[in-house]
Amino acid sequence: MTGSERSEYKGWVELESEPGFFNAILHQLGTQDFKVQELFGLDEFALNLLPMPVHGLIYLYQYNDESLTSDDRHDCPGDLWFANQTTTNSCATVAMMNIVMNAEDTTLGSELQAFKEATVPLPPPHRGFMLDKNDFIRSIHNSVARRSALVSEDLLLENKFEAAEQLSRTQSRKRVARPSRIRKRADTEQAFHYIAYVPVKGQVWELDGFEMQPRCLGSSGTDNWIGVASTAIQERMMNNEDLSCSLLAVCQSPLRKILHQFESSRESEEDGKHVRLAAEHVAELASCEEGLDMMRERQKDYSPAVHRWVQILADKGVLRDLIADTAGGK
């Protein structure tokens, strides 16, 4: 799928909980100060493996009607950037923006910086609306999707629209809804949702785009905010005990620090340290490139080759024989 096709597509596709995709998206958005890593635990050992500082956590869980909600929510303070989710399937980017826009001592890049400056004065619902309508951000979000995923998403939305129209007609005729049938249809679809946890000005916040207001989890210092967030995350994990979930950490990319140390070691002629830092730098660049390679692989469109292959089979009569054999086997 070409860049122009992605720009023209006004919907959002589901984003998998794959760190490489998040890293590629951030890189394409123009910021290289972040690195997303999967987190397999909230214990000290797991946290020590992360680059510091950690700007936020992204929690993915299987959403259902009984998912945990909280009344402990506040009006969004002026020093907190929080956007609501205003459209389907954008929750991954909404969660990521709710972290990136609050990160300190980072460079966002020209596009994201302009978006932040334009949305800071707005309330959360309007920020979410502006995010939904931002062609630059939406196109890059969709760049990790295959063409078939966009077609499937369009078909899914069309089916939902037709089902809603049919339900509306049924209700108008009988004036009685059939919730059991609707609930059964909904239960067959697994809905996943991303939410963010972020420290801002000594407070730890849970930022859920589905909620109109952010949730304050309490006060903390810069070094121990994850401990406060982990309590809320573990509560959600227990509430969704039998369902799928994953956790990503949005960290400071170590590239800038490595480059600074590399230059210092070269000036001081510390050969051993110089070689080690050079190796770390190459490894980090390779990690960044890995995510971009995953994105490029998704962008490849094999449908013309498949179409041509099927056409050749049909021209040679092979396809007809295959269909006949299949029908005969039944």
The predicted structure's pLDDT at residue 178: 42
Are the beta carbons of 127 and 94 closer than 8 angstroms? Answer: no
Residue ranges of domains in the chain, CATH in brackets: 3-147+189-253 (3.40.532.10)
Residue in this structure with the two tokens 């290289």, named with its chain if needed: 32
Specify the residue for token string 């972290």: 99
The pLDDT score that the predictor gives to residue 194 is 96
As a whole number, the mean pLDDT across the chain is 82
189-198, 212-221, 257-266, 313-322: segment of lowest average pLDDT: 257-266
Residue 179: the pLDDT is 41
Catalytic positions: 91, 193
> 68-102, pLDDT tens digit by residue?
566 678 899 999 999 999 998 999 999 999 999 99
Given this model, what pLDDT does residue 18 score? 92
221 pLDDT higher than 90: no
**pLDDT level of residue 287 (50, 70, 90 thresholds):** confident
Q: Is the pLDDT of residue 181 over 50?
A: no
pLDDT at 4 over 80: no
Residues 121-147 have pLDDT tens digits of 999 999 999 999 999 999 999 988 766
Instruction: Indicate if the pLDDT at residue 50 is higher than 50.
Output: yes
What number is the average pLDDT over the span 115-120?
98
> Does residue 312 carry a pLDDT above 90?
no
Question: What's the pLDDT tens digit per position in 229-265?
Answer: 999 999 988 887 656 889 999 999 988 888 777 777 6
Query: Is the pLDDT score of 183 beyond 50?
Result: no
What pLDDT score was predicted for residue 296?
Answer: 76
pLDDT of residue 180: 38
Average pLDDT over residues 152-164: 57
Look at residue 66 in the predicted model and tell me its pLDDT: 58
Whole-number Å distance between alpha carbons of 264 and 276: 13
Torsion of CA 182, 183, 188, 194, to 10 degrees: 110
pLDDT greater than 50 at residue 182: no
pLDDT at 187: 42
Tokens 């309330």 correspond to 123
pTM value is 0.78
